[in-house]
Amino acid sequence: MLHDPITEATRQIEICNACRYCEGFCSVFPAMTRNKAFAAGEITHLANLWHNFRGCYYSCQYTEPHEFALNLPAALAEVRVDSWERLIRPRAVARLFQTHGVAMAALGVVAVAFFLWALTALRPQRGEGFYAHLAHGTMAAIFAPAFLAPLAAIGLALRDYWREVGGSRLTPVHLRAALGQAARLRNLSGGQGQGCNFEDGDRHTDRRRVAHQLVMWGFLLCLASTYSGTIMHYLLDWPAPYPVWAPPKLLGVPGGLMMVAGAGWLVALKLRADPTLGAARVWGGEMAFVLLLAVVAATGLALYAATGSALVAPLLALHLASVLVLFLLMPFSKMVHGFFRLTALLAEETKARS
């Protein structure tokens, strides 16, 4: 592959656009066929619209040993990661954590050490449940900036992405269509709805789609659990701990179980998949991120199960540390893919309906 990922992806897409044998395979090909020539912004758009469906590679007559040496999944994966690393600031931090899972683990160790210290040095004189170990105000002071600052960085990057790919004015129709696709993860079923062959070139299944749905909806349930707890604490004057029938538990426990199951499934699928059909240089960072999602959910469930025991303090440190790392690395890990993917779907709606 050439050093410049956009140059190499352009070469391969122009060949694919001339052939069009795989036109119905995935969401990229209908978008690709609108063009005869491809600017850099259009290549970036196609790469973020792409969902790593690999049927085109397994069906292609121009892969190695043919002189064209096409590997479109790897070419688009490189462009996609490159777009995240270019548009997220600071770029050096984005490159570090996208590429090195060890760096993510090291940050986790630092976060655990910080919370073990905080549970001793900042322990409140009184409180119930988790707040007997760390006050609610202290948690809010730590996590509010750790959540909002990364979101601001992502927002600035998406603004630059929208300009680069040539997105136009959004309408409610565009928004409904893109959100519907994102909610169903429709494109993970392939262009003809036969499923994905991500982990097995000879077999199409919906395993990857279901695993992604478990993680996505589980995460959203956990997020809703946190928001409901915040509303109950500040607006209803009902602080934690909450009974099993309260919204934070009704949402958080199923969400955590779904995240653990989905993340474990994604790890298994990724271990079976061919790394040469993706951006191999970020394999470690991607795997570390999926494992981080599993740790966030598993420690949250364990913390709930350990209520009232001596394990609450160490489990609280592990859980808060994993959540803090997840928040801090939102712009610098595979987590940012969800934001870019949704923006790509919105941009595609504006292009397809113009």
Contacts for 339 with CB less than 8 Å, ≥ 6 apart: 154, 158
Give the domain-ending residue among 53, 69, 84.
84
Contacts for 296 with CB less than 8 Å, ≥ 6 apart: 259, 319, 322, 323, 326
The answer on 102 and 71 residing in a single domain is no
The answer on 217 and 105 residing in a single domain is yes
The answer on 67 and 192 residing in a single domain is no
The answer on 101 and 168 residing in a single domain is yes
The answer on 220 and 236 residing in a single domain is yes
The answer on 299 and 204 residing in a single domain is yes
Give the domain-ending residue among 84, 110, 143.
84
Tokens of 58: 């397994």
Contacts for 251 with CB less than 8 Å, ≥ 6 apart: 221, 222, 224, 225, 228
Structural domain including 102 reads 89-352
The answer on 143 and 55 residing in a single domain is no
d(C-alpha 297, C-alpha 195), whole Å: 27
Nearest of 20, 80, 21 to residue 50 by alpha carbon: 80
The answer on 129 and 76 residing in a single domain is no
Least confident range from 193-197, 205-209, 278-282: namely: 193-197
Give the domain-ending residue among 23, 49, 84.
84
Separation of CA 141 from chain center:
25
Section 146-175 average pLDDT: 94
Least confident range from 13-22, 72-81, 314-323: namely: 13-22
Torsion of Cα atoms, 32 then 34 then 37 then 40, to 10°: -60
The answer on 190 and 52 residing in a single domain is no
The answer on 73 and 16 residing in a single domain is yes
User: Are the C-beta atoms of 133 and 318 separated by less than 8 Å?
Assistant: no
Query: What is the reported pLDDT for 2?
Result: 42
Section 282-290 average pLDDT: 95
The answer on 93 and 73 residing in a single domain is no
Tokens of 302: 């364990």
Q: How many CA atoms lie within 13 A of 175 on its CB side?
A: 4
The answer on 37 and 107 residing in a single domain is no
Section 38-59 average pLDDT: 88
d(C-alpha 183, C-alpha 320), whole Å: 28
pLDDT in tens, 237-250: 887 778 888 999 99
Nearest of 217, 232, 223 to residue 143 by alpha carbon: 223
| Domains identified in the chain, total number | 2
